[in-house]
């Protein structure tokens, strides 16, 4: 177990170097550079262009730029945004809570609905309900987020007018960021109860859109894990003890089925962040995804590279956490 983690940790450094290299290549492969993009169509004299490029170090050979960047990273320096001059780390910490809040809501939504759906489908295997759930989850798992987001906006915001279209909160409220999580800040640090309600209303659609794919995946995984577990000898033993069916299913079967489901959930976090970028774009959600997409348009190399790196680290940490959780959930790994 310990050796397993040592190996995982040893792999982190080369992986991160790989991530920065890939990020660097991709960012520089995009046509145009930050200076060109900013000067736009009005044009600029070649001298001024050369001057700005020199200022940003863009006149250096690529390998030198990369080496300098890595050298700065080694000192814990992610650099500054080429556009705002703000440090990349500060910008990340400003935008990240919005993404985290949305991600947690989406994952909770997916778990709270997906887990019971999977369990019910497995217990009622072969029923119309089961087939219905399979159909829904197959559709859900392959739902294109962009289209799906526009659809729910059209129905719930435009046609029915139940929910707002974009943003995290109504513009009438200004909430001083304490934790960065608007649900918490608006509930505990604002006197106006309307702020909290507005936050919740803004969260509903993005949560559903981002949560749909993980929900479908969780439901499907839970169903198949439960089907396997329900045929195990220890489930028969549990019934032989005279336990109520609900207790047999939840305490004895689901507890075991959770082990593979948690693994899948861990893998979903990477996909969830990918989905968050799309969702944030559709809903103008001021999170990390939105921030990154804007920096692509501005060719803000430092933000793009730094943001990608931070997200990569985050995904790795989550996977490590899932590994630990897996060990906790599965006593068979203990000696």
Partner 1 sequence: MSSLLDVRDLSVAFDTAAGRFNAVQSVDLTVASGEVLCVVGESGSGKSVSVLAVMGLLPPTGRVTSQEIRFRGEDLRTATPRARRRLIGRDVAMVFQEPTSSLNPCYTIGWQIGEALRVHGATAPSQVRRRVLDLLGQVGVPAPEQRMRSFPHQLSGGLNQRVMIAMAIACDPALLIADEPTTALDVTVQQGVLDLLVGLQRDRGMGLVLITHDMGVVAQTAQRVQVMYAGQVMEEQPADPLFAHPRHPYTAALLDALPERAEGKLRLPTIPGMVPGIDDRPGGCLFAPRCRFTTPKCTADRPALRPVNGAKVRCHYPLDDAGQPTGWTLGGST
Select from 22-30, 144-152, 205-213, 236-244 the region that touches partner 1 (CB under 8 A).
236-244
Rounded to the nearest 5 percent, the helix, strand and coil shares of the chain are 75, 0, 20
DSSP-derived secondary structure letter, 178: S
Among 40, 75, 240, 246, binds partner 1 (CB under 8 A): 240
304 SS3 class:
helix
Q: Does 335 bind partner 1 (CB under 8 A)?
A: yes
Under rule CB under 8 A, residue 250 binds partner 1: no
Q: Is residue 243 a contact residue for partner 1 (CB under 8 A)?
A: yes
- 42 lies in the site for partner 1, by CB under 8 A: no
Among 237, 284, 296, 321, binds partner 1 (CB under 8 A): 237
Phi-psi region of 180 (alpha: psi -120 to 50; beta: other; left: phi over 0): left
Stretch that binds partner 1, among 160-168, 211-219, 234-242, 302-310 (CB under 8 A): 234-242
Q: What is the tally of helices (H) and strands (E) in the chain?
A: 14, 0
Structure tokens at 18: 């790989």
Q: Which of residues 261 and 329 has its CB atom nearest to partner 1 in the complex?
A: 329
- Residues in contact with partner 1, counted by CB under 8 A, come to a total of 24
Distance, in Å, from the CA atom of 277 to the CA atom of 288, rounded to the nearest integer, reads 7
Nearer to partner 1, 74 or 128 (CB): 128
Cβ within 8 Å of residue 186, ≥6 positions away:
169, 173, 175, 195, 196, 198, 199
Q: Per rule CB under 8 A, is residue 331 in the interface with partner 1?
A: yes
Interacting residue with partner 1 among 28, 38, 239, 298 (CB under 8 A): 239
**Beta partners for 80?**
87
Could you say whether residue 227 binds partner 1 (CB under 8 A)?
Answer: no
Residue 12 neighbours by CB under 8 Å, 6+ apart: 316
- Binding residues for partner 1 (CB under 8 A): 231-234, 236-245, 247, 252, 255-256, 329-332, 334-335
């Amino acid at each position: 177990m310990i050796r397993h983690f040592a190996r995982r940790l040893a792999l982190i450094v080369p992986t991160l170097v790989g991530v920065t290299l890939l990020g660097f290549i991709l960012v520089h492969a995009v046509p145009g550079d930050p200076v060109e993009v900013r000067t736009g169509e009005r044009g600029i004299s070649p001298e001024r262009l050369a001057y700005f490029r020199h200022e940003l170090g863009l006149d250096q050979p690529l390998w030198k730029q990369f080496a300098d960047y890595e050298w700065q990273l080694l000192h814990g320096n992610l650099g500054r945004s080429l556009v705002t001059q703000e440090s990349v780390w500060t910008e990340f910490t400003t935008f990240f809570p919005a993404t985290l809040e949305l991600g947690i809501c989406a994952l909770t939504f997916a778990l709270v609905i997906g887990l019971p759906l999977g369990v019910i489908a497995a217990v009622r295997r072969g029923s119309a309900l089961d087939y219905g759930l399979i159909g829904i989850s197959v559709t859900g798992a392959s739902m294109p987020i962009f289209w799906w987001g526009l659809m729910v906006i059209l129905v719930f915001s435009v046609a029915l007018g139940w929910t707002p279209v974009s943003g995290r909160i109504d513009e009438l409220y200004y909430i001083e960021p304490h934790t960065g999580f608007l649900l918490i800040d608006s509930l505990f640090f604002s006197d106006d109860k309307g702020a909290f309600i507005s936050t919740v209303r803004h969260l509903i659609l993005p949560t559903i859109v981002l949560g749909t794919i993980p929900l479908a995946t969780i439901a499907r995984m839970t169903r198949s894990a439960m089907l396997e577990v329900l045929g195990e000898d220890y489930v028969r033993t549990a019934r032989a003890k005279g336990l109520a069916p609900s207790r047999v299913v939840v305490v004895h079967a689901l507890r075991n089925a959770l082990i593979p489901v948690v693994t899948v959930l861990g893998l979903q976090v990477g996909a969830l962040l990918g989905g968050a970028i799309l969702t944030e774009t559709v809903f103008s959600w001021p999170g990390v995804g939105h921030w990154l997409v804007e920096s692509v348009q501005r060719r803000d190399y430092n933000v793009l590279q730094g943001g990608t790196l931070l997200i990569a680290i985050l995904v790795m940490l989550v996977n490590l956490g899932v590994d630990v959780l897996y060990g906790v959930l599965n006593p068979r790994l203990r000696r």
